[in-house]
Amino acid sequence: MKLVVDRDLCEANGVCVRLAPEAFELDDDDVLHLRVVTPTDDAHRARLEAAIRGCPKAALSWEES
């Protein structure tokens, strides 16, 4: 599975960046970039899951790879 962002839904409000800064980055134009798309271990997967659940626009999800 890999992490994906729906660019049509994303408002770049940064909740995901606060929850998993190793995986998400907002650039100077408030465009979200995925730094990591697959979890490295269970703890990392838990942080990514928290970011998915915490996204106020439901713009983050898992996709089968």
pLDDT in tens, the chain (65 residues): 999 999 999 999 999 999 999 999 999 999 999 999 999 999 999 999 999 999 999 999 999 97
Structure tokens belonging to residue 56: 């106020």
In which region does residue 12 sit, left (phi positive, over 0), alpha (psi from -120 to 50) or beta (all else)?
A: left
> 44 vs 5, 12, 26, 51, 65, CA distance in Å?
17, 21, 19, 11, 18
CATH topology of domain 2-63: Alpha-Beta Plaits (3.30.70)
Q: What is the pLDDT of residue 65?
A: 78
Give the predicted TM-score (pTM) of the model.
0.92
Residue ranges of domains in the chain? 2-63
Q: Number of helices (H) and strands (E), helices first, in the chain? A: 2, 4
